[in-house]
Each structure stands twice: as C-alpha cells, then as structure tokens.
Amino acid sequence: MVSGRRSSSQFAALRTLVDAGGGPALPLPPKLSRLYGAFRIAKPRSGFHVFSNFVSTLDGVVSLQVKGHSGGGDISGFSGQDRMVMGLLRAAADAVVVGSGTLAADPQHVWTPAAICPEFADEYRRLEAAMAKPQPALNVIVSGAGTVDLRLPVFASGKVPAMIITTAHGAKQLLKRKIPDSVRIHAIRRRAGDIPPAAVLQEVGRVISGKRILVEGGPRLLALFYKARLVNEQFLSLAPQLSGREMGDARMGLVMGKTFAPRDPLWGQLTDVRLGSRLLFLRYSF
C-alpha cells in the first residue's frame, strides 16, 4: 500500500483552487497547514458526519484487484501527497470503518495516520492532541461471516482500539477464539447477509462519543452507505492514469454492488478542489 518511492515533489504544498466547504477549521500544525491549507470539517451536535476517501484513475478504477497490486498506491502512483491527505483525514476521524475485503487486501495495516504517512506522524499526533481526542480513531472492521484473523496487527498490536461488527453467526465463530483485550465484538440481529450501515453507526455510537466517521471501504461497503443515504462527504483523489477494463473483469469502481442512475441518481456538489503535483484532490458534499 505504501511504497518507498521518492520524488522531489512528493510533499509539495497543494494549491487550493476551490474552497467552499463549511464547518470549523481544524487546528493543523504548521507543516500540515502549509501542505494542505485550511481544513474544515463538520462536527454535528447529533448524529454522525460520515465521510469517505478513495483514490481513482481517470476511468474510475479504485482497485486493480491483482495480487500485490490491489491497494491505492498503484492507483495514485505512490503519491506522497495522497498519503499525507489520507493521514489528515484519519487524524480528523473518531472512527475508521473498513470491510473485511479491505482488511484481506492489506492484512498488516492499521488504520492510523502514522501507518499511512509516517513522515508526518508527529504532526498528526499534535493535531489529535489539539482536537482533544482521547485515543486513536476506533478501527471498525465489518465482517458478516466473522472470518477475520484475530492475530493481525489491527487486533493484536494494541496500537488502536478495534471493533468487529458482525452477524450472530459471525460472533459465534469469533468467540470460539481468544479475543485480544483491545477488541470488541458487536453482533447485530441478523444471521447472515449484508450488515446495514445504520446498524454499523449505531454500534459505533455505543462506544465512542465522537461524531466524525471515515469510511475507507471497500467499494461494496461504501455502496451500502450511499444506498442508505448516509454519506455526507466524499474525498476523491483523481490520478492521471487510465487503468482500462476487460469485459467482465474484477477491477472495481468507487461503489460496487448497488446501482443508482437512471432510476435513483445520486448527485453530489463539488465543494473543494486542490491541485497536487500529479493528482487532483476533489471533495463533494451529499
């Protein structure tokens, strides 16, 4: 997911072209403020502010679905600027939600700012301290079947509080194994099938007081959130490459498994545009 490739412009400052977003400005440390500019994001008094972040090719591919090349690095060209933005969004979030497929694609990952952009680990910690966040963002893994390896770093390292949201059947399977102290198992009242996003948010709300929820995917989980009209903002890094698709291949777009247009189109409003060295950083409200 993260490459050691380097270039002179990997952490050049983004150029703000459009900034029409609302919400309070986060207290970015000087380095992050210089690189990103002003960063505002809503913090609702009730309910949640749900936002998502992906990087996409020009033709809409977010994952090549090829072993060893299924992460965002192959899409972004291993952009340092993209990693910096990902870390910023994770630092702003109170919980990061991913599906079991995303975990399987990057099993050694932990969804923290430092894990994706270690170059600014100190700045992210300073931002979280300034926001008075009591702990790192809760890492939430959504797995209907409960077939996750509890020995993976997200569960066993103790670096983050973690929650697995699953079905009754999935919880039964998980509870047969030793559960690390930092992991909570939450079962919803469903034996199998997709877990409703509203149920995910309800379970998250039981254990955290924060209101900002970052959904990092994958595309099938994000599609469920969009179908339920629960996504408030979409951050989309647009990479200047064409992936291409064979008819019927497995390459994935931003949302998969649900359709909207033409019967139920879902339109967003462009609120923020920032120009990187190669990528275009877009932000939409819904």
Q: What is the pLDDT of residue 189?
A: 85
Q: Is residue 65 part of a domain?
A: no
Domain assignment present for 60: no
Q: Amino acid letter at 109?
A: H
Domain extent at residue 215: 78-241+268-278
CATH number for the domain harbouring residue 195: 3.40.430.10
Query: How many domains does the chain divide into?
Result: 1
Q: What is the DSSP string of 73-85?
A: HHHHTS-HHHHHH
Residues of the chain with pLDDT under 70: 1-9, 191-192
Gap between the Cα atoms of 89 and 212, Å rounded: 10
CA distances from 272 to 14, 15, 212, 234, 275 (A): 12, 11, 18, 10, 10
203 occurs within a structural domain: yes
Say what the pLDDT of residue 193 is: 74
pLDDT of residue 185: 96
Which value, in Å, is the radius of gyration of the alpha carbons in the chain? 18
36 located within any domain: no
Position 69 in a domain: no
In a domain, residue 19? The reply is no
Can you tell me the distance from the alpha carbon of 102 to that of 40, in angstroms, rounded to the nearest whole number? Answer: 27
Distance (Å, whole) CA 115 – CA 61:
24
Q: Six-digit token pair at 283?
A: 């932000």
Distance CA 143, CA 164 (A): 7
In a domain, 63, yes or no: no
Tell me, what's the pLDDT at 128?
Answer: 97
User: Is 33 within a domain?
Assistant: no
